[in-house]
Structure 1
Amino acid sequence: MWENHDDVLAQVQSLGLRVDSLQVNSAKPVRCYVEGGGREKRGWYWLTDFRLPRQAGGEGLYIVGSFGYWQGNDHNKYKVKLNRKGPALTDADKKAIAERHRENARRAKAEREAEIKRAARRAANAWRHYTPEGTSDYLERKRVGAHGVRFAPNGSGTIAIPAMDAPGRVFCLQVIRGKNRGGKLEKQYWPKGAEIAGKWFQIGSPTAGGICLVVEGFATGATLHEATGLPVAVAFAANNLQPVAVELRRAYRGARILVCADDDYIQKCRACKQPTLVDSTVCEHCDEPHGQVNPGITAARAAAVAVSGAWVAPTFPGDRERKKLTDFNDLYHFPDGGLASVRVQVEEAIQRAGWQSVAGGATGAGNPQRGAGGRRAAQSVMSVDDAVERFLPLDDGTGKFVFDTWTRKIAHKDQMLALLPADSKLADVKRHPTWIHRGAYYLDEVGFDPSGKDAAVRLNTWKGWAMEPKQGNCETILAMLEYLCSAEENSQEVYDWLICWMAYPLQNPGAKMSSAVIMHGPQGTGKSAVFQALAQIYGDYSTVLNQRGLEDKFNQDWVESKLFLLAEEVVTRQEMWHIKNELKELVTGDWVRVRPMHMTAYRQRNQINIAYLSNEGQPLPIENDDRRHLVVWTPPQLKEEWYDELWLEIENGGVPALYNYLLNVNLEGWHPKKRPPMTQSKRDLIQLSKPSEDRFLDEWTAGELDHPIGPCGSKHLYTAYQRWCRANGVRFPRESNQFLGRLKKLNGWSSAPKYIYEDLHYAGSPRKQRMVIPPPEVLEKARKAKPADETLQVWLTDCFFAFQRSLEEPGPD
């Protein structure tokens, strides 16, 4: 039935997807098993058919579409290669196929959103039918309380734990059944198709600026809450720790996130499949690299970095004897462990992070913090006098906002009113003499001014640096940075410039660099570790940005009062072009627009300095005349011992030591507009970023194509460009009007009607023909300039037909 069924089946099978036949025109992607992928259906394909011309004439039915396999959050997508020998696809065919792909994607997105909504409705309905009282084998075994979970009404011992968002909407249930199936406890996420990413179960109540613990499992979370009194978010799985931490930080402004990791210290060796300790890179059974990491600690560390938080894993007071003892509930049950050990280890982690916490569940929101001015104790009720002293009215035309002098932030008027005594009203505030006579401030007089030099800022949200510089050892961090620059020919110049770029904003708070850093290269080289250390120095004035954050219409969490932005894999190849100008404006623009949720948008002076990190060969586009970016391609990763030493240094005071080092860098002759040095990596990235028409013209005028260099017919040149695009895998060539329009804008090029003869006999009257004529310097170099003894018409005619003949030879396809 399909002309290319066997070929497509072979492509799908070659990727490791276990399929014997194909389902075509399915309503949604088809899931399948993958070789070595375990019992989960990680593979997928989504195919449709399309009528296309055959070589022998007529039309045939061909399969088009895509396939891949899920690995974490990556769907590893591959498009079906259409191996046809028929006539070339027309532009209409290509557009129709592309539209089919887009329609499938739209339909899949809509179906997934509808599936999530249906699952959420079912989960919420089931949750309402569970009861708040009951017994559970699981809770008894773990020796923890229910803390808000519910019980099956039939008394079976089954409990349900809802996965919710910040407003408390239920999206999914984790169902933990009583003992059955051979005495095993069974866990299940219900219903099928539910969304759990970025959703959590809350034990206790987080607060803005307070400490919140994030854990994988419910028993771990209940243990930690009972031991410390702190609020806990249960993320259900290691790969959900970071999404949950990010959502918590978004929902509870300034919340300090401590991720409490599972210590998955034993994993199966990928070579021999035997369980082995992962603290060494070599399997203890087969002496081969085991290829594993500690997933619990790896996920916790990444989550903590994403929200400028901290992480801690349990330390067991004795030999675990290779048993599956990994979390804080296991520490609770461990000999010589207990709740006291749990509490002590968490409190030590909080102290290492420089946060304050008190017994009984206080979050530290009201305790003094490091930095300028300290912090006053939080209040549940304030007198009208105290509230008037604390809050300042803002004149923005609405009367809805005030300035909180304690937190140094814009606040909604309702936040002030919520603190007043029960019998007080807004009218009591407005009648207060201080409120009347002190006056108000305009919204644009509120600003973030670390330098203290902006006369327009009367209410400054800057609170000083959180970190204190300390004498110490940061040699490994600096050595790693030097190694990351070592692949460039001018590596010493690059390293010296980069050190100054990092040091200047720390020595001059609020300084805006007119440049950004792009560091890309192989995975695991250490670039994230170095720049995340820099982000820790900035504390709350830095943020780690991802693609979702960049495209979110509400940007307050990563724009307001920020000085350093670490963008890790923000821009993928498919997405980079449409946000190119936004990124450019972030690097050099004087202002950024802050758009909070439920508040009026306002602008703030742009003081954000940006470093982009990527494992891609082309992380984002660079223009030919770019002066904004330092581009560095990192060398391969070093031996494991290097990175062990790096992490140990970071964990043992390396970051405050790096801060101290950067504060003492000699910046004589350096300034914020200092242009970054040119690197070979930047030249390569510029070349990769060129549009297809520019790269074609470069190759043509360099003599790398089988077409003569010189004047030619515009249609002939566009035909040559189309062939070049097919040969070089350019998926979306420019249309002819765009191609010629771009050509005419290039210096010295022209595309205009000229008079040429009908043939090489030069007989008859010349006719008009639109010709493309390269610049004089190109013609001179190619020795194609018009000879002095020839007329213009004869010369153009010769060139026209010479180029036409080159197209008659077999093309690049």
Structure 2
Amino acid sequence: MTLDDLIAEMRGHGLPALPGDGLPVLNGKIQRFGKGKKAWYRLREITLDNGQQQIVGSFGLWHGRDPGTVSVTFDWSGISDAEKVEFERRQAELEKHEQERRARVAAAAAGRARGQWAMAKAVAAPEEVAYLKRKQVSGAFARVTSDGVLLIPARKYRRNAKPELTSVQKIAPDGSKKFNTGADMVGAACLLGTIDDSTRLIGIAEGYASGQSVRMATDEAFPVMVTFSAGNLGAVARQLRTDFPSAVLLFFADDDWQIQQRYARDLLEQFDVESPPAIDGLDHTCLTRGDERVTVRAWRRIDATGTPYIEADVRCGRRMRQWKFENAGIAAARAAARLVGNAEVVFPVFADRGENKWTDFNDLHVEQSIDDVRAQLGPVVARLLESGVAEPVPELPADDDIPLPPSAQNPADSPAPPPQADAVGLTMPTAEQLVDHFALVWPTTDVWDSLRRQRMKRSAFVAWVGKAAAAEWDTNPKRRTVTRESLPTLIGGRAATGGSGGKLDEMLEHLTLLRGTETVWDGIGQQVMSLGAVRADYTAELTTKWQEHALRKTIEARNLVFDPTQQADPETCVNIFLGWPVTPKPNVDLVQPILALLESLCGAEDNVDECVTWILRWLAFPLQKPGAKMQTALLMFGEKQGTGKSLFFQDVMAPIYGEYGTVASQHQLDSTFTAWRSRKLFVLFEEVLSRDDKYSHNGTLKYMITGAKMSINQKNLPERIETNHMNGVFLSNEPQPIPIELEDRRFMVIEARNRQPKEFYDQIAEAIKAGAVEAFYDFLLRLPLDGFNEHTKPPMTLAKERVIEFGLSSWMSFHRSWQQGYLAAPYCSCLSEDLFKIYRRWCDRTGEKPLTLCKFAGLIASREHKVKRSVAVGAKGKTTRMVFEVKAEGETESLEKQIERFRRLGDIRGDSRADDSD
């Protein structure tokens, strides 16, 4: 089947014109388009070993719960058996890859949902939430965002397992509802209430508001599962029956009663038939407003659950549709009840519904009263709670007993539409063919040949058809005109076959121009690209068409954001955070080896428990509050190798972050290009500072820990600013890995000294293979923080004291020794030259290189109060001297007596005054 044949078949089955250049995207992914995104296709182009290209897949048009699937017929002519086997193998491989891709997309959707749920707050005032106020229900079991969007959690429940959040239903103030794109919703539900082994009755409703109204009317006598759609009733009910085999299931069905109205609506919207014919099983010929003939045959039927529906067969030329208009809410509930057994179905009965679209028990609650809901449900609920047995659902008939429309019983009764006229050959076309198939390309003089899908110059057109025929066509009032932008992608003047048309759709969907720059955000590769790189990837012609296309996406360059909180406005921003890559899975047994490793790493400190607790909370905080920027960092070092530092942080922690984590070294810090920092939440710094560079990058590291913004400088691309969400761990085998200041508040420092037996690390490696990463992630998400936040300061450790001492200059070490009472001279007020003498003796004893008096006194003045005072030293009278005043609490001794005591205990004799110019 050629691409043109496929497009014609899709249009023949009622699908609207394809968007963009009118060609399908042949990438094997589901593409949705048209009004309400009801039209869809999933197509892929296969190249066989013999070079033959085939398009495989399916397409359809959703109608109610029916996707209207039409499979693309594969042309097996000229295909050997071996090629068939190879084709089937490749198809299976592609399908496997597609399933893996969908699983990754679903995992990312679940990650986004967890982040959104964590950022939202419990509903404190339902009357302030527009949707809840309109529906007259509380916000129990839901949360609300700062902008008033109600979040309903969609979880997968399994007995004796933690519910798994797969998505959130976002209900805007106007009532519009969305789920996380790509989420796995099969079997996902929201539990209103609690279920345990003693639960006798479980309710199942489609919508949150309906479920809440049921709970209000029945005084919350039983739990209710919200399934979000009729199509999900069966999956949720099956799991409930597996987990609670003796409970009665009561379905609170939506009464989707407007089947005849939908029949009339679809005839008008899809076939332009204003007056729907009678539903009597007979053929009726109708005229559209454009005088086209449409044949309609419709029947009233009753399905296997006893629910009425309408079936229709509609034909117009090559177009043919078979529709089923059903009461999806009641039919799906009855089918699910029959499937699981010991279940009943109830639906609301309105006093005067008229033509209003009232369908569920919340509509009954709002439009009539909660007492009416209570009156309808009370007797049923009381009976089921008392008896524990539901009334049986009617038996399903065999498939052969279900009546089929005549067109399905005897396809020969429905003649095929007349074949399309043959395309013209290379002979000169007739005047009629010229009018039908040729068009002027505005605003040029070129001509478009729609049969050969070729654009030609005016001179070539005239040379082919002749001047007379060209002139007649040019002046014909029926001559067609097309815009240059509406033409498909051309290669050598001819429309590209295969996937090039789809490439433009791909560009429109995934590329976003960053205004004010010549760069583009590529949603496929998750990277910033130059326009030159885009041209190299998609060709210059395609790039030009994309740039000129009305549907091209453009945002301000500053609105390309990395926002793990997922609060960025999706209308104006592109968020390059796509969700967490790992799904947490509880398993206490797998967590224990990881905790044992962390305790071993901290074992050399005298406050092991305090260190382990602080580190666990530091690791957990940015996971529980996505996007949190810690104002502290973790430094773990030790000359002894093989203690498990990298095993813990590189093999356990880094995989939790996936692509949002990285390992950095000295090379990254030295480089002027900083693209490695982009889209990062976790960075593991391995030996980032050599012995010669310990101080040159100290400021950079400090800013990475506490800075709010980062400059991202990517090679050959303009510099941009990104919010800093990066949290860092530093690993080293050096005795002084990073210079740490005396008053440092940034670093938690641990020296790893304990090396365990090989079996200890083998056990951890086996746990990682068995899923310890996912288990530890779950452990951290559940860990109580107890007031821990981004600014919680790390405790002092023996290792930190050693690192600080190692990095102190001579005057700092001296001052620390003097202040803490390690010197013979007391810590009290003294002459500056006397303190300098004590300093020189200390340097001789410790091997430190001394400073000059001027520098020493100036530096000590940054720690102690330095002032000129008139004092008497020894037997001499008062003179003006430079003094360090130490004002100790409770000190009553005079300044002169303190100076005398300092000189006596420090064994300073005489009064050889040094230069006091300092």
Q: In which range does the TM-score fall when normalised by the shorter chain?
A: 0.3 to 0.5
TM-score (norm 1): 0.47
TM-score (norm 2): 0.42
**Highest CA radius of gyration, 1 or 2?**
2
